[in-house]
Structure 1
Amino acid sequence: MKRLPVLLTALLLGAASAAQASDFTRLVPRAANDDTIVVKLPNQASMTLFVKNKAQLRELRQYKLDSLLVLLDGYITQAEAAGKNSKSDQVTMEFYPAKEQPGKQVPEQIRITVRNQGPGSKTKSADHVDVTLGRVFGVTVDENTDGGSDHVSVRVGTSTVSDSLRNAQRQARHEEYANRPVHSNFNIDLGVNALIKKGADANGVTPDLRPLASRYISLNWHYDIRLGDKGSVLFLRTGPELAFNNYMLDGNYQFANTNGVTTLVKPDAGRNLEKSKLSVTSVNLPLMPMLNFQDKKGHEAFRIGAGGFVGYRLGSHTKVKYEQEGSTKKDKDRGSYNLEDFQYGVQGLVGIRRFDLFVKYNLNDTFKSNRGPQAQTLSFGISLLN
């Protein structure tokens, strides 16, 4: 590995000089929309540049090769030293020359990966260094210690090597996330409300809802806490939820307070209500055990959970919409409407990938006893995960 920085410097310096002479440079067609530029040097060495288009090649002009190579030589030496002292077969180090040398035309980030394959490896023993300069281009140096030839390849833009490195880093992030004792996420519940176990109010009217118009929306900041050792699929889900329940009445009724009691009444004679709803905002806290299974790549694959929740009403109001004398009128009235401030219930979910089907059932009545219609709330729908 001692020859690698010297090899890199020698080849690229020679390439920089030879690239100015057209006798040593040729353009070879590669895959669709790709070009391969092969720089042949007098000492039989070569440098290969893989480019997607001419614009990527022009990006190299912003760097002075001689200064860049001196910079790389020092960084590769540090990475090699770290590799020798590491028990791992691969060591990756990141450097930030733009911060170290402000004002100079140098890459913002340089990532160097050193791979060592020992004598016991089934493959041919080799040392490998991969250098990535920001998102612009990368340099790969292979030194075959079994008498093979040395070569340098410079890749501009996306390459097979950089893609594999990114995939490996992405996989490592997934595994690191999967092994965390606490997972945090944000999701949105979109669904509808229904009233069950309904009973008549003081006027003998039973509330009926317009199903699709009685919407349920919840913004959820969840924490999934692993129960058990690393690799356990059992979690406890909790975290604050901001929920919006809308109850859209059917049958040309509206909510009204009469002598401290909430009832359903008809509007003034001859008036037809386009919309009549009761909106309730509450904050909830779930406590739900959940099984969360992951695929081989560490992605969440399947979830199932059941538990309970508690909540508190933050605010509520009614809103009616109607036509009067050729114009649209909207009346909005804030109030408690004898709704229960505290609520509790059970809930469950079944999920695949980034989608969950959820259901929530309030065990306590929606309105206070003998102060409003008898009913309990059932909400169900789909969750969109972050």
Structure 2
Amino acid sequence: MQKIIFYTTILLLTLISKVSAQENSFEGRAKQISKRIDSIVRLEKQALKEQVYVIDKNLEEGIITKSEAMNLKQKAADESAKSIEAKVVVEQQKIEYLIQDKINGLVQYDTIKKRRGTTIIIGSSSNDSINDVTEINLGSFKIYNGEKNKIRRRSKRTTSQFVFAAGLNNLITEGENFENSDYRVWGSHFYEWGTTYNTRIFKNNNLLHAKYGLSVMYNNLRPTENRYFVKNGEQTELQTGSVNFDESRFRNVYLVAPLHLEFDFTPKKFNKEGEAYFRTHESLRLGIGGYGGVRIKSKQILKYEVDDTRIKDKQKGDFNVSNFIYGLSAYIGYKQTSFYVKYDLNPMFKNNTVDQNNVSLGIRFDFN
């Protein structure tokens, strides 16, 4: 009886140590972080959906007006976007710490076979089979357990991507061109990041896809000739500063829902058994569509020096900027990288006598 208890104890301790080692390994910790990010986005979207449902219900019952409902929805969307951004930043820092721990030898991991760009391939030290390796794609926050798992997930009819875009940003003003723009052409930028879903429209044809998702968009403008924005009643104007600005920057942040019809020319593939399957983002791609969303915040940042004292002035407000945004966008590229252009159909300032529409062009990355 004592021998049975002894061997049972040894077996349990062995199992516990194996489970613990897996959880503390690089792969295990990376999976946990990835799951937490997915959970954050899913829960925040569900919470926002429930809030919008309650607001619509109150509107139908006459408890609130249509204007109040729109304000409540915008407030709920703003809070949801801020919450997602804050929580995901924490998890991104954990990924950075995890990678640094791996480099310093402070985390358990299997033998690393190779590393390509943002992808880390990890395999067993005793078996080099492609179906016994783990691929960690840092760009798209995805982990594939073996080649079969990777093919199955990436050839699904609906796949997901992490999207990041950056480039030049400016305003198209009626009667003016970029040579006479009020904003620095090379100094004004935009940034966009978010998650998209890509659904193949036809079951047995890979050409047409519906691409949709949720993004946070940052549009920055840097006025020329030492000027800054001033709100004058319902008008927002550029005025020359009384001090010399080291930097004058105006930023609008939006939460948008992009929707594109994507043409993907990735050809059909076949596995070893001769079965056909489809991949995306492995050839020429073209997307045409648009976006719509709400403004989260507007901020003006002024940096200057007075009596050898450096001053950074942050001004927050609506600056008469339109609360809603909608426009057209398109991209063309190869594999994950594309040339990207977008144009706001609504003017940036809602009451100005001369309409000014935001236009952006740059590079877009779809990490599949």
TM-score by length of structure 2 reads 0.57
- CA distance in structure 1 between the aligned counterparts of 2:222 and 2:350, rounded to whole angstroms: 19
For 2:12, give the aligned amino acid: P
Residues 173 and 354 in structure 2, CA contact (< 8 A), matched pair in contact too? no
Which of 94, 104, 112 is the equivalent residue of 2:14?
104
- CA distance in structure 2 between the aligned counterparts of 1:292 and 1:107, rounded to whole angstroms: 47
Aligned to 2:217: 243
Aligned to 1:162: 128
For 1:288, give the aligned amino acid: H
Q: CA deviation at 1:100?
A: 11
Instruction: Judging by fraction of residues, say which structure has more helix.
Output: 2
- CA distance in structure 2 between the aligned counterparts of 1:105 and 1:235, rounded to whole angstroms: 46
- CA distance in structure 2 between the aligned counterparts of 1:267 and 1:106, rounded to whole angstroms: 67
Aligned to 2:149: 173
Cα offsets for 1:342-386 (capped at 9, x unmatched): 1211111113222222111111211114x3653111111112333
Matched, 1:274 2:246: yes
Q: CA deviation at 1:164?
A: 4.5
Q: CA deviation at 1:216?
A: 0.6
Matched, 1:347 2:329: yes
For 1:253, give the aligned amino acid: R
Judged with a 3 Å threshold, the aligned counterparts in structure 2 of structure 1 residues 135 and 102 are, in CA distance, closer, same or farther, namely farther
Aligned to 1:385: 366
> How many residues get paired?
237
Instruction: Judging by fraction of residues, say which structure has more strand.
Output: 1
- CA distance in structure 2 between the aligned counterparts of 1:184 and 1:220, rounded to whole angstroms: 11
Cα offsets for 1:287-340 (capped at 9, x unmatched): 110022336484631221101111211110111111111121121211111111
Q: CA deviation at 1:240?
A: 0.8
Judged with a 3 Å threshold, the aligned counterparts in structure 2 of structure 1 residues 157 and 176 are, in CA distance, closer, same or farther, namely closer
RMSD: 3.2
Matched, 1:308 2:290: yes
Q: CA deviation at 1:188?
A: 1.1
For 2:14, give the aligned amino acid: K
- CA distance in structure 2 between the aligned counterparts of 1:317 and 1:222, rounded to whole angstroms: 27
For 2:211, give the aligned amino acid: R
- CA distance in structure 1 between the aligned counterparts of 2:290 and 2:150, rounded to whole angstroms: 30
- CA distance in structure 2 between the aligned counterparts of 1:341 and 1:275, rounded to whole angstroms: 26
Cα offsets for 1:76-129 (capped at 9, x unmatched): xxxxxxxxxxxxxxxxxxxxxx999422389959xxxxxxxxxxxxxxxxxxxx
For 2:13, give the aligned amino acid: G
Aligned to 1:191: 167
Aligned to 2:202: 228
- CA distance in structure 2 between the aligned counterparts of 1:234 and 1:279, rounded to whole angstroms: 35
- CA distance in structure 2 between the aligned counterparts of 1:294 and 1:266, rounded to whole angstroms: 53
Judged with a 3 Å threshold, the aligned counterparts in structure 2 of structure 1 residues 100 and 233 are, in CA distance, closer, same or farther, namely farther
Unaligned runs of 5+ in 2: 1-7, 20-108, 112-122, 135-144, 271-278
Residues 343 and 362 in structure 1, CA contact (< 8 A), matched pair in contact too? yes
Which of 214, 217, 222 is the equivalent residue of 2:188?
214
Shifted more, 289-298 versus 166-175: the winner is 166-175
For 2:338, give the aligned amino acid: D
- CA distance in structure 2 between the aligned counterparts of 1:320 and 1:106, rounded to whole angstroms: 57
Residues 338 and 363 in structure 2, CA contact (< 8 A), matched pair in contact too? yes
Residues 174 and 299 in structure 1, CA contact (< 8 A), matched pair in contact too? no
The percent of aligned pairs where both chains have the same amino acid is: 24
Residues 199 and 374 in structure 1, CA contact (< 8 A), matched pair in contact too? no
Matched, 1:360 2:342: yes
TM-score by length of structure 1 reads 0.55
Where do 1:38-57 residues align within 5 Å? none
For 1:305, give the aligned amino acid: G
Aligned to 2:65: none
Residues 244 and 279 in structure 1, CA contact (< 8 A), matched pair in contact too? yes
Which of 317, 328, 331 is the equivalent residue of 1:335?
317
Residues 190 and 218 in structure 1, CA contact (< 8 A), matched pair in contact too? yes
- CA distance in structure 2 between the aligned counterparts of 1:273 and 1:385, rounded to whole angstroms: 37
Aligned to 2:266: 294
- CA distance in structure 1 between the aligned counterparts of 2:15 and 2:238, rounded to whole angstroms: 74
For 2:219, give the aligned amino acid: N
Q: CA deviation at 1:185?
A: 1.4
Shifted more, 360-369 versus 280-289: the winner is 360-369
- CA distance in structure 1 between the aligned counterparts of 2:240 and 2:308, rounded to whole angstroms: 21
Higher relative contact order (CA 8 A, sep 6+): 2
Cα offsets for 1:237-264 (capped at 9, x unmatched): 1111111111111111110012332111
Q: Which has the larger radius of gyration?
A: 1
Judged with a 3 Å threshold, the aligned counterparts in structure 2 of structure 1 residues 250 and 166 are, in CA distance, closer, same or farther, namely same
- CA distance in structure 2 between the aligned counterparts of 1:341 and 1:105, rounded to whole angstroms: 57
Residues 207 and 265 in structure 2, CA contact (< 8 A), matched pair in contact too? yes
- CA distance in structure 2 between the aligned counterparts of 1:175 and 1:157, rounded to whole angstroms: 20
- CA distance in structure 2 between the aligned counterparts of 1:319 and 1:373, rounded to whole angstroms: 24
- CA distance in structure 2 between the aligned counterparts of 1:235 and 1:340, rounded to whole angstroms: 31
- CA distance in structure 1 between the aligned counterparts of 2:264 and 2:154, rounded to whole angstroms: 10
- CA distance in structure 1 between the aligned counterparts of 2:309 and 2:353, rounded to whole angstroms: 32
Aligned to 2:300: 318
